[in-house]
Chain A
Amino acid sequence: MGPVIEARGLTHEYPDGTTALRDVTVAIEAGERVAVIGANGSGKSTLQLVLGGLVEPTAGAVEYFGETADAEAVRDRLGVLLQDPDDYLFNTTVREDIEYGPAQLGMSRRAATQRVAHLAAELGLESLLDRPPFRLSGGEKQRAAVASVLAFEPDVLLLDEPFGAVDAGYRERILELVTDHEGTVVLFTPSVDVVPEVVDRVLVVGQDGSIAADGPVRDVLTDTALLRENGLQPPATVQLFEGILDADDVPLTVSDARAHLLDETR
């Protein structure tokens, strides 16, 4: 299978002259789990919008599923979750918002009803379905937005900071839902700690809007100099074991670190 998204020479400049992306070339293969990390203002969200076909790049092109450059033609296969849930929830009730994508993209009502019920149960939204989104708390809005993008079962998920304001319990639920997703996942986040739990490959967007690194999760997240150079903190576990263990042995997640410490103390 070829890439589901292939971008060549993407450059994007905003009307005020800010260059958000600089000559970005990237291919996302089917079934891949990729994280796009970068400091605030590095251009991650712009890259997500361009890859999702919601912003036209100043230069360069994006091709979807090896067949078209028109994102609208494959909209039902692309799940783009915007960074701010307030931009994503515009209907009068949470239920209408979760149903919006399935209805617009041709899912049967029966399937959509089942999907809404399932996601509402998973994300603790059952009692909120008939409430207007603006009455929800930040975390509830985030969960409703995540449900809205998962509702139409897209092949590719492009998620910009899906864990935003959610509490630890629901963060785990969202992680599980994203991990269980059978298609491709591209996660845009400045929080490197969550990255090893979800992805196999990491792209680092440099502060000049270019791709500063692209490689396996361990190679990138243990390169502390690279991360710091690009305005990022290495994962907490990497910081903890930096200089103590070899890069190949450094635990990337808290559970791995715990297991390592238990082994050491036995």
Chain B
Amino acid sequence: MTGVVGRSVESITGALRTVFTAEQVASADGFLQRRDPRVSLCSVAGLALAVMLTRTVAVTLCFGVVTVLLARLSAVPLRQLLARSAVVPLVSAVIVVPQAVLLPGDALVRAFGLAVTDGGVAYVVLFTLRVGVGVALLSLIVMTTPFSSVVAAMRELRVPVALVWVVAVTYRYLFLFFDELQRLVLARNSRTTGQSSLRDGWRDAKRLVGTFLLRTLDRGERVGRGMRARGGSRPPSPYSRSRAVDGGDYALVALAVVAVVGSGVIRWGL
């Protein structure tokens, strides 16, 4: 599967597979990497909650700035953070974009009997921005903390086992999903010669999807056995990476508390 579609799939899966691990960032010496995983998890979740409470673009942008600052302090490359966080808000934007014409407000543009309203546009922008900042915050925690430490922190914080299980398995399978896709594309490319047209590329891509689903199911089953062989049928219980709480931890918690309270006050008033 050569051509535009093949190259696109190959480069997208390669990039996603890489950003899903980000091992260099997690082992770097940065602000979030030095925090107790429980503190990081609670604080970043608190900040994400505060973002979800906001109802104005300005406040959401402030949280965006906080996210960028935390990323800089934690030696997280902004491009990598963006690559990891961009997909979800983009998909969200596609889903909510009809609201731009459905919500009431002053018409900004009229076409085909539909009017794009200022209220609609403001809603789409705010929604997408909130999702983007929220996802970037959650990505920060995964990028700066080894995944097993995140799971261990969730267990220590008494998050329901079922939820921890879902998070642990989803994360691992998401990684395997892209790994399998990239293998499949490489295997096909190795046996394909010449440049194919866009049309041929799409035809190949359709065939690839069917094979990919079957292979993913098969691989999922085999990896499931690999997990069970080492106690994977028991609740996730990685070793705790808790450490002594210090000033930086208190500062992060304080930031999260102020953010949640501030967002609540702005939204509902005193």
Interface residues, chain A, with chain B CB atoms under 8 Å away? 49, 52, 54-55, 72, 75-76, 78-82, 84, 86-93, 96, 99-101, 103-105, 109, 112, 130-132, 134, 148-149, 152
Contacts and interface: CB of A to CB of B under 8 A. Distances in A.
A117 B82 CA distance: 36
Given A92-B175, A131-B23, A134-B179, A100 B229 contact: no
Most B Cβ at <10 Å: residue of A81, A92, A96: A92
B239 A99 contact: yes
Contacts of A72: 228, 233
Contact of B172 (A78, A90, A112, A148): A90
A52 B225 CA distance: 10
Contacts of A100: 148, 230-232, 238
A49 B225 contact: yes
B176 A90 contact: yes
Nearest to B169: A90
Interface of B: 17, 20-21, 23, 27, 146-148, 172, 175-176, 179, 219, 222-223, 225-234, 236-240
B225 A148 contact: no
9 contacts: A54-B229, A75-B233, A87-B225, A92-B146, A92-B148, A93-B146, A96-B147, A103-B237, A148-B230
Contacts of A91: 147-148, 172
A130 B234 contact: no
B226 A88 contact: yes
A49 B229 CA distance: 9
A96 B232 CA distance: 13
A131 B23 CA distance: 7
Contact of A152 (B172, B228, B230): B230
A11 B23 CA distance: 44
B229 A80 contact: yes
Contacts of A112: 239
Given A92-B147, A96-B148, A101-B231, 9 more contacts: A75-B230, A87-B226, A91-B148, A92-B148, A99-B238, A103-B238, A104-B234, A109-B239, A152-B231
A90 B237 CA distance: 15
A69 to B, nearest CB: 16
A5 to B, nearest CB: 15
Nearest to B178: A134
Contacts of B227: 90
Nearest to A148: B230
Contacts of B147: 91-92, 96
A99 B239 CA distance: 8
A98 to B, nearest CB: 10
Nearest to A104: B231
Contacts of B222: 82, 84, 87
A178 B85 CA distance: 45
A119 B91 CA distance: 44
Contacts of B179: 86, 134
A58 B238 CA distance: 34
Contacts of B237: 103-104
A93 B147 CA distance: 9
B224 to A, nearest CB: 9
